[in-house]
Chain A
Amino acid sequence: MSGAEFVPLSLTPMLIGVLSAIACALPGNFLLLRKQALIGDAISHVVLPGIVTAFLLTGVVAALPMMIGAAGAAVVAVVMIEAVRRLGNIEPGAAMGLTFTTLFAGGVLLLEQSDTSGVHLDVEHALYGNLESLIWLDATGWGSLLDASALLGLPPELGRVAIALIGVAVFLWLFWRPLVLSTFDENFARTMGAPTTVLGIALVLVSALAAVAAFDAVGSIIVIAMFICPPAAARLMTNRLEHQIAWSVAFATLSAVLGYVLAGYAPLWFGFEYAVSAAGMIATVSGLILAAAAFCGPCRLRSGASTVSF
């Protein structure tokens, strides 16, 4: 494929897919080890009512109000999960499942009742995103990467996911030690004076940041898959957390690139006329990678019960 075709049509969707996948996979490692993997799932569902509410209040699909709306919804969800868990005396997994389906369903109703015909906001968009449409029309080839005027025409989603990824990476780098310590041994971390509760909440908020930025571009299917599949597969490849993080980034990247290419071209190879959903294919590839790791990964045999919780 020539640069003149690849750069405008495939480069930006692929990049956005890769950056979103990594931004979700990074905090996903910690959520998984804290047995909170479902929180990523919950967040990616509850951002829908938040985004719709933000749209209804402001009347525009803009980044900042949507972020604020989604963050607000995430906070509501966290409070709801805790309330259901404590007041209803229900186990955390069930409380999360209850909360996120209820809020997502509420978001769907809200979306259906409101007039969003003029903007890119609908139930399908919320699920699959619009990865294929995030093209870079100002580009003419690889040379456009050095062309300032062409760069201005980059889809805004690219900048948003890039910023989210940087935010996530900086958070993990800065608070690596207390995060690892409180994830492994919360009681010990407290005796050391580490603010374990604040760290736990901060991790959820950072995950929400990644989820909102990625949700906007790639939809909730990818977000859910990327929070869980790359970290879970990575855990099966190594017994060291630093290496697990690296593997999860590699798997997230591989899922995004391979998924995008397969969605666009694989159906043609088999004689079908149309491409399939990139979001669906990326999530499927990440699931297949997890399956492969589960069968062939070097560290899949553990001393105790499996800690990979879905």
Chain B
Amino acid sequence: MSVSLAANEGVAPSSSSVSDSPLAIRGMTVSYGQKPVVFSVDMTVAEGAMTAIIGPNGAGKSTLLKAALGIVSPLAGRATVFGKPLKAARHRIAYVPQRASVDWDFPTRVIDVVLMGLSRELGLLRRIRPYHMDKAYACLERVGMTEFAERQIGQLSGGQQQRVFLARALAQNADLYLLDEPFAGVDAATEKAIIDVLKALRSEGKTVVAVHHDLTTVPTYFDRVFLINTRKVAEGTVAEAFTPDTLHKTYGGRLATGQIDQLELAAG
């Protein structure tokens, strides 16, 4: 397979918007075996907006994020964060992994997980001071989990665990928030709490990118969409890129026309 690939379809953004974009991905190709999971994908995230990455199961949504973050090594491609290579901009990124990616029986408390978000500023041996604790508690407060601070993380419900992960990302105090399926398997109250926090982040000028599954909530939750099915299908505002045409291209026959009509109504 050739890895020197021409740019994808879609409008090439102007060079200035690429150079300082919170996250600019170019020619990203990732493979876990013979078949590429992500193939030559370009993405330019708009600053101060909420972007949903959508596509069918196995379309490479999570993998694209992981490759951009250096968690998996791509075959080809690169990502820049606010115009800088990843290594020079890690402090500006907060990441919420999929909830199922960790062992929740791990012997640790909620507050300790939130404090992990302060790892960079704590370094190897710096003592945790009241100032750090206050910060961690403030983040728990934002997701409504203060009263669970001393609980072992395995004693929480799925939604509560997701909120703890979000609190840890808030503790990172970043400019770019990358979330991998933050609404997967959570209760309605948690979904509301999470979207409120994300919208508050946006109003502070932060950039939010989330892998998202529920198409019906896309128009109400997000400003922009990025449609992917191994290759990029479309990218733009919800009005531009979240259309029956692009959805058909992304999901193939997996979405019934009726479903897309309903989405149209929701968007309209």
Contacts and interface: CB of A to CB of B under 8 A. Distances in A.
Interface of A: 33, 174-178, 180-181, 183-185, 187-194, 235, 238-241, 243-244, 299, 302-304, 307
Interface string B114-131: 001001101111000000
B168 to A, nearest CB: 8
B119 A194 contact: yes
A302 B107 contact: no
A307 B103 contact: yes
B104 A303 contact: yes
Contacts of A190: 69-71
Q: What are the nearest 9 A-B pairs in CB distance?
A: A239-B152, A303-B154, A191-B95, A307-B105, A241-B107, A185-B102, A193-B90, A191-B69, A187-B71
Most chain A CB atoms below 10 A, which of B97, B106, B113 = B106
Nearest to A237: B107
A304 B105 contact: yes
A187 B179 CA distance: 13
Contacts of A307: 103, 105-106
Contacts of A185: 97, 101-102, 116
Given A177-B122, A185-B101, A187-B95, 20 more contacts: A33-B103, A177-B124, A184-B113, A185-B97, A185-B116, A187-B66, A187-B97, A187-B101, A188-B116, A188-B168, A190-B69, A191-B69, A191-B70, A240-B108, A240-B109, A240-B112, A302-B105, A304-B103, A304-B105, A307-B103
B73 to A, nearest CB: 11
A193 B87 contact: yes
Given A193-B90, A240-B107, A303-B105, A174 B71 contact: no
A302 B182 CA distance: 24
B93 interface: yes
Nearest to B115: A177
Contacts of B113: 184
B95 A238 contact: no
A7 to B, nearest CB: 38
A149 to B, nearest CB: 40
Interface in B110-163: 112-113, 116, 119-120, 122-125, 152, 154-155
B154 A188 contact: no
Nearest to A190: B71
Interface of B: 66, 69-71, 87, 90, 93, 95, 97, 101-109, 112-113, 116, 119-120, 122-125, 152, 154-155, 168
B95 A184 contact: no
Given A185-B97, A187-B66, A302-B154, A193 B120 contact: yes
A241 B71 contact: no
B97 A244 contact: no
A177 B119 contact: yes
B107 A239 contact: yes
Contact of B120 (A33, A192, A243): A192
Nearest to A185: B102
Contact of B124 (A175, A183, A302, A304): A175
A307 B153 CA distance: 14
Contacts of A178: 119, 124
B105 A184 contact: no
Nearest to B93: A191
Nearest to A173: B125
A174 B152 CA distance: 25
Contacts of A183: 106
Contact of A184 (B71, B116, B155): B116
A190 B122 CA distance: 16
A184 B109 CA distance: 12
Contacts of B168: 188
B155 A303 contact: yes
Contact of B108 (A189, A193, A241, A303): A241
A203 B133 CA distance: 29
Contacts of A240: 107-109, 112, 152
B34 to A, nearest CB: 14
Nearest to B123: A177
Nearest to A35: B103
Nearest to A241: B107
Contact of B107 (A174, A244, A303): A244
Contacts of B155: 303
A181 B104 contact: no
